[in-house]
Amino acid sequence: MAGLHQSEFDNPVIRWIDTRLPVFTMMQKEYGVFPTPKNFNYFWNFGALAMVVLIIMIVTGIFLAMNYQPNADLAFASVQHIMRDVNYGWLLRYTHQNGASMFFIVTYIHIFRGLYYGSYKSPRELLWMLGVVILIIMMATAFMGYVLPWGQMSYWGATVITNLFSAFPVVGSKIVTLLWGGFSVDNPTLNRFFALHYLLPFVLVGVIFLHVAALHITGSNNPLGIDVKSPQDTLPFHPYYTIKDSVGIGVFLTIFAIFIFFAPNYLGDPNNFIQANPMQTPADIVPEWYFLPFYAILRSVPDKLLGVCLMFGSLIIMFFLPWLDTSKVRSCRFRPLYRPTLFVWVLACLVLGACGAHKPEGIWVTLSRIGTLYYFAQFLVIMPILGKLERPLPLPESISHPVVGPRGGGPLPTGAAAKPMEKA
Amino acid sequence: MAKLRTLLAGAFAATLLAAPLAVPLAAPAFAQDEATMPNESWSFENPFGTFDLAAAQRGLQIYGQVCSNCHSLKFLHYRDLAGIGLTPEQIKAFAAQFTVPLGLDDQGNPKEGPALPASEFRSPYPNATAAAAVFNGAVPPDLSVMVNAREGGPNYVYGILTGFVNAPAGFKLQPGQYYNTMYPGHRIAMPPPLQDGTVQYTDGTKATLHQEAHDVVTFLAWAANPEMVERKQMGVRIVLFLIFMTGLTYAVKRKVWANVEH
């Protein structure tokens, strides 16, 4: 039976709306009193940071689209028009351009947080998988966005990446023709990439909504990786985490602003200041920094199809982590053997990033092969085996009664007992 | 210990953050085998640097008398010259020297006339094909964003302008090619554009090659980044504001969390 919602708000206007559409009750439940583990560290800021960047990207993007021309003859000049003639156009564009890099930095740290503290494990598998979907959509969006300024690297990057699909047998060349809207990267390609670049962020919003919805069903993981046992373990989201997230947002925006105002092209490629020229290939085609590890995986093997499969596989494999990891213990704090391997995996990603920036010659080929091997071994070999072999450290009884482990260090005289009851 | 752990975590995050930043630095400039990048001192390079307007105006004179014979500056309008300190009258007078297309007349015929401040900078050739026909297939590139479009930026452009020397013995050059230490492969189709005394500066500055190259690069750096001064000034205010707000937020956070055992 349908019925009016019993609103607890006193303000008559809010109450009137809330009885008919309880959005205020929902916000209060999900972001006001929402019980959140009280032991988050600052790694738990990065989801909120990613949300902030997404909003910044959508807002700046909409205003850029009002002044941009998705036409192969006009695109490059229209970007210069934005930079020179549109009021604060340079600010919009540099924010959007550097925002892409910031989005990836924040998201990669967010993913690392999930890996380190085991946030992908039961019951958060679906939450994690939605996150992987978000990452893939983000990458597609960023790739197509980079094509829009129609510089040399836009054009040749698009040519190289779209050509990857031709590696697939039978359907490969058909897919490529479909992506291009013709027989080379040209005006139709730019048109469809612009349309998709405008569309995908809103798809992203939808998937992120599901990601957050799933989060609010399972509840957040925490640095100890143990379940919330009692209300003492949690704090209401507001004001504790709204203010903690605000600190992170302040630090993040400061770093972001330093890039925008003082080094706006530091992360960019000089070649993209040259208008796309199909007759002239740049000396070295490199993607943006955030794709470099994947680019290195792609080029680590001499076979095109295998390289493409490895590259896509490096993302697809993320979907299976909840089942590849056989350990019941979530947080790396209690996994003395697995913990260092995860750091080596991060190192492998960084090495792959460096490999992606260099021509695949000499030492870089060897390094990218070792990096690729370790990238996959981490998930396919180390994760399943270590989970069985490893003897995890004793887990704390609960978040509010943390056991002092060998690394936890020192006596905790004031202990958790002195803590006042939290109503949540 | 918990502090130490937080510190470690922070250091780790910083590494993650810094590593991608280091990559572009680590990437070698492949093409520039033996050439060393000049390391000139530029008025606009540090975080608070502005354009040396006198140098930029001298650079405009060089662009007008030398570069503009072959190179376009098509993303600029004459009105933009206010950015290097020209008055509206000076801009009007400067623009009026150039004959540019001015749309159609009442009969629908293309019309030409002296450029207005709102006109785009006149391009020496109507299109790339016309330029290629004149220069043996080598199109003189547009200079609007040249300083941003090369690894090394202003130093690279300076290096090209001052890098013309006689080819070493045995180095083969085709007709119409010149030897340049900075240029990748050293075979450049541009004849040496500047020598000592190529221009007679209106402000009396001695026109050495170094001075001319320095001035025109300053002008081109402005042309490529006309928003730079406004950007940096706004940046200082915004970053200071953000640091202040972050500090304030952190103080509030400490206050809110003061009674929580965590």
Contact B99, B122 (CB under 8 A): yes
Can you give the pLDDT at residue A423? 42
- State the pairing for strand pair B187-188/B178-179: antiparallel
Instruction: Tell me the pLDDT tens digit for each residue of A136-152.
Output: 999 999 999 999 999 99
Contact B78, B223 (CB under 8 A): no
List the structure tokens of B99. 């004959």
Q: Is residue A11 part of a domain?
A: no
CATH number for domain B39-76+121-250, candidates 1.10.760.10, 3.40.50.620, 1.10.287.3510, 1.10.3720.10:
1.10.760.10
A334: domain CATH number is 1.10.287.980
Q: Residue by residue, what is the 3-state secondary structure of B138-172?
A: CCCCCCCCHHHCCCCCHHHHHHHHCCECCCCCCCC
Query: Could you report the predicted ipTM of this complex, rounded to two decimals?
Result: 0.89
Interchain proximity A250–B231, CB inside 8 Å: no
Which member of B13, B231, B249 has the closest CB to residue A250? B249
Instruction: Tell me the pLDDT tens digit for each residue of A76-113.
Output: 999 999 999 999 999 999 999 999 999 999 999 999 99
Instruction: Tell me the pLDDT tens digit for each residue of B149-176.
Output: 999 999 999 999 999 999 999 999 988 8
Q: Is the pLDDT of residue A420 over 60?
A: no
* Amino acid identity, position A419: K
Statement to judge: residues A295 and A239 lie in one domain: no
Q: Whole-prediction pTM value? A: 0.90
pLDDT-above-70 percentage for chain A:
94
Q: Quick check: helix, strand or coil at residue B133? A: helix
In sign, the C-alpha dihedral spanning A324, A327, A329, A331 is negative
Statement to judge: residues A243 and A108 lie in one domain: yes
Q: Is residue A17 part of a domain?
A: no
Q: Is residue A316 part of a domain?
A: yes
The torsion region of residue B87 among left (phi > 0), alpha (psi -120 to 50) and beta comes to: beta
Instruction: Tell me the pLDDT tens digit for each residue of A160-183.
Output: 999 999 999 999 999 999 999 999
With beta carbons under 8 A apart, name residues in chain A contacting B258: none
Which member of B16, B234, B235 has the closest CB to residue A109? B16
List Cβ neighbours of B94 (8 Å cut-off, separation of 6 or more): B64, B78, B81, B86
**Helix (H) or strand (E) run with residue B183 in it:** none
Can you give the pLDDT at residue B33? 52
Contact A168, A305 (CB under 8 A): yes
The torsion region of residue A36 among left (phi > 0), alpha (psi -120 to 50) and beta comes to: beta
Statement to judge: residues A216 and A313 lie in one domain: no
Q: Helices A292-299 & A363-377, crossing angle to 10 degrees? A: 100
Q: Is residue A174 part of a domain?
A: yes
Instruction: Tell me the pLDDT tens digit for each residue of A237-271.
Output: 999 999 999 999 999 999 999 999 999 999 999 99
Statement to judge: residues A195 and A338 lie in one domain: no
Tell me the C-alpha distance between A388 and A383, whole Å. 9
Statement to judge: residues A197 and A318 lie in one domain: no
Interchain proximity B20–A38, CB inside 8 Å: no
Q: Is residue A145 part of a domain?
A: yes
With beta carbons under 8 A apart, name residues in chain B contacting A261: 231-232, 234-236, 238-239
Instruction: Tell me the pLDDT tens digit for each residue of B106-154.
Output: 999 999 999 999 999 999 998 889 999 988 888 999 999 999 999 999 9
Q: Which of residues 28-67 of B touch A (CB under 8 A)?
A: 28, 30-31, 47
Q: Is residue A413 part of a domain?
A: no
Identify the domain boundary among A285, A314, A337.
A285
Instruction: Tell me the pLDDT tens digit for each residue of A48-61.
Output: 999 999 999 999 99
Statement to judge: residues A318 and A338 lie in one domain: yes
Can you give the pLDDT at residue A3? 86
Q: Is residue A96 part of a domain?
A: yes
Statement to judge: residues A238 and A293 lie in one domain: no
Statement to judge: residues A86 and A212 lie in one domain: yes
Instruction: Tell me the pLDDT tens digit for each residue of A105-126.
Output: 999 999 999 999 999 999 999 9
What mean pLDDT comes out for the span A273-286? 93
Which member of B1, B30, B148 has the closest CB to residue A265? B148
Is A197 annotated in a binding site? The answer is yes
Q: Is residue A28 part of a domain?
A: no
Is A96 annotated in a binding site? The answer is yes
Identify the domain boundary among A221, A256, A285.
A285
Q: What's the structural domain count of chain A?
A: 2
Identify the domain boundary among A285, A320, A340.
A285
Is A401 annotated in a binding site? The answer is no
Tell me the C-alpha distance between A254 and B250, whole Å. 14
Q: Which of B215, B189, B188 is nearest to B201 (CA)?
A: B215
Note down the domain range covering A343.
287-392
Residue stretches of the annotated binding site of B for heme c: 67, 70-71, 190
Instruction: Tell me the pLDDT tens digit for each residue of A358-409.
Output: 998 999 999 999 999 999 999 999 999 999 999 999 999 999 886 544 444 4
Statement to judge: residues A156 and A85 lie in one domain: yes
Statement to judge: residues A305 and A197 lie in one domain: no
